[in-house]
Amino acid sequence: MKLQKIVNRLQKLHPKEIDLSLNRIKKLCNTLGNPQDKLKAISVVGTNGKYSTIQALFAILKETNIKCNIYTSPHIKRINERFVFNNEELNDDDLGILFQEVEEANNNKPITFFEILTAAYFYNASKYPENINLIEAGLFHRFDATNILKDNLASIITSIGLDHLDWLPKNEQTTKKIIFEKTSTLLNSNIIIAKQSSSEIFNEIKNSLTRNSSKKLFFNEDYNYSLNENGFIFYEDQHGGIKLPIPNVKGQFQLENISTAIATLRSINNLKVSEKNIKDGITKIESIARLQEINSGKLKELVKHNKLLVDGSHNPLGAKVLNEYLESLNCDKHIIVGMMSNKDHNDYMSYFKNISSLTTIDIPNQPNSINGKVLKSKLSSFENVKYKESIIDAIMSIPVKENDVILITGSLYLAGEVLNLN
C-alpha cells in the first residue's frame, strides 16, 4: 500500500501522461549526480520485439554469469517488473524507498510519470557499475527519457511499423517519420538492425543511419538464421555459424528477436559469450504476455485440455506475426480481443485470417479502452463476432473442440488483466 501511495503521487507531478522533452529528465538526473553517465548499456528501440529481444539478451547473459539491470515499459502485472537490478526485480519496500529518494530530489517540480521512473532506474542502476543495462526506449526515441545516455555498448533497432500515431501531427503519421524519431539520435557505437517487414522500411532505416558512424549489422546482410527441418536452428554471422536448439518461446518472430540478440552480444568486444552460453540461454527465456501459453491457473481450468494463449500485441505489425503463428497450427483458432481506444481496430484485426470465432470484451480498469460492444460493431465484417463483458464469460462462451486454441490479444493492459485474473 505504501508503494502504491508513492506511485499515485508521482503520477500527479505533471498534467500530461506524455510530454515529449528531455529537459525535465536531464535536470532531475543532474540533481541525482548524472547516474546515466555511469552505466554500461544496450539500448533497444523499435516498434515490436523490444521486450522479447531484451529477454533473449538477458537469458544469454545470465548463462555467461554477467549480471544485468533491466528497464522495460509498460509493466504487465506489477510496476516492479520495470526495475530489475542484479538480475532480480526490486521488492515493494526497496522500490518504495527508491521512489521516495528520487521524489525528494525532484522537489515537486513538474515531470511526467515515465520520466521520473526513468530517473529512478538510472539512479539505482548506477550502484551496479559493472552490470550490463538492458534499456527499452519508450515512445519513439528522440525525445524519450531514456535518450540521455552519452555512450553505450550497442543500440538495437527492432522491427519498425505504425504505432502511437496519435502522438504525431496528422500530416506526419507515416512510417518514415517514425523511423526518423526512433533512429536519428542513436549513439555512435554498434547498431544492430533486426529483420524488417518490408524492403522499403529496411532501406529507409539505412538512409536514416547514413551519417551515424557506428559499426552496423543488418539482418540478412551481416547475420541471419535458418530453421532446419531436422529440428534445429542454424545461426550465422561474421564470427561463424552455430547450430542451435529450438528455443522455449513460440513464433517465428521470436527466432528473429533471438538472432538479433545473438548478433548484438557477439558484436560487443570483451563480453566472452560462448556458443554454449547462447545454446543454453535461448532455452531459458522468460517472456510475459508475448505468445505466452497459460499452463495452469483459474483460466486454464476453464479450457481444460485446450491451449490458451495470451499476447499483448496491439498494432498491425504485431497482428501480422501473430497470424503467421496461428496459420502454422492445424486446428481451429478462437480470438478474444480487447483494445485501447486510440488504436486502429480494423487494421489490427484485418491481419487475422481463417479464425473460427471472434469475441470482443471490455478491458477491466482501463478508462481509455474501447467498449467491447463498440468494438464489436466496428468489427462487424467478421463472421461469428460476439461481445462478452468479462474475460471469463468470453472464454466460457466459446464452443471449443479437441485441439482448438484460444488466443486473448489486442492490448498489453488486457494481457496484464488476464494474467492477474489467472
**Domains in the chain: ranges and CATH:** 2-281 (3.40.1190.10), 292-421 (3.90.190.20)
Cell of 287: 517472456
| CA max distance for the chain | 61
Between these two residues, 166 and 12, which has the higher pLDDT value? 12
The crossing angle, in degrees rounded to 10, of helices 92-106 and 2-10 is 30
pTM for the model stands at 0.94
In this prediction, residue 17 carries a pLDDT of: 79
CA dist 67 and 252 (Å) reads: 28
In this prediction, residue 1 carries a pLDDT of: 58
Stretch 223-239: mean pLDDT, rounded? Answer: 93
Cell of 157: 533497432
In this prediction, residue 230 carries a pLDDT of: 83
In this prediction, residue 231 carries a pLDDT of: 86
Stretch 178-195: mean pLDDT, rounded? Answer: 95
Percent of the chain with pLDDT over 70: 98
CA dist 129 and 145 (Å) reads: 20
In this prediction, residue 171 carries a pLDDT of: 75
Stretch 82-92: mean pLDDT, rounded? Answer: 97
Cell of 88: 532480480
Query: 281-303: per-residue pLDDT in tens?
Result: 999 999 999 999 999 999 999 99
- SS3 category, 36: helix
- SS3 category, 8: helix
Is the pLDDT at 161 greater than 90, yes or no?
Answer: no
Stretch 402-421: mean pLDDT, rounded? Answer: 96
CA dist 319 and 386 (Å) reads: 20
Query: 332-375: per-residue pLDDT in tens?
Result: 999 999 999 989 999 999 999 999 999 999 999 899 999 999 99
Percent of the chain with pLDDT over 90: 87
Which range of 14-18, 84-88, 316-320 scores highest in mean pLDDT? It is: 84-88
Sign, Cα dihedral of 186, 190, 191, 194: negative
In this prediction, residue 164 carries a pLDDT of: 64
The DSSP symbol for 172 reads G
Is the pLDDT at 163 greater than 80, yes or no?
Answer: no
In the structure, what pLDDT confidence band is assigned to residue 51 with cuts at 50, 70 and 90? very high
Is the CB of residue 403 less than 8 Å from the CB of residue 331? yes
In this prediction, residue 165 carries a pLDDT of: 60
Query: 3-36: per-residue pLDDT in tens?
Result: 999 999 999 999 887 788 899 999 999 999 999 9
Partners of residue 68 on adjacent β-strands:
132
Stretch 132-161: mean pLDDT, rounded? Answer: 94
Q: How far is CA 145 from the centre of its chain?
A: 16
Is the pLDDT at 206 greater than 90, yes or no?
Answer: yes
Report, in this order, helix, strand and coil percent for the chain, each rounded to 5: 40, 20, 45
Between these two residues, 134 and 161, which has the higher pLDDT value? 134
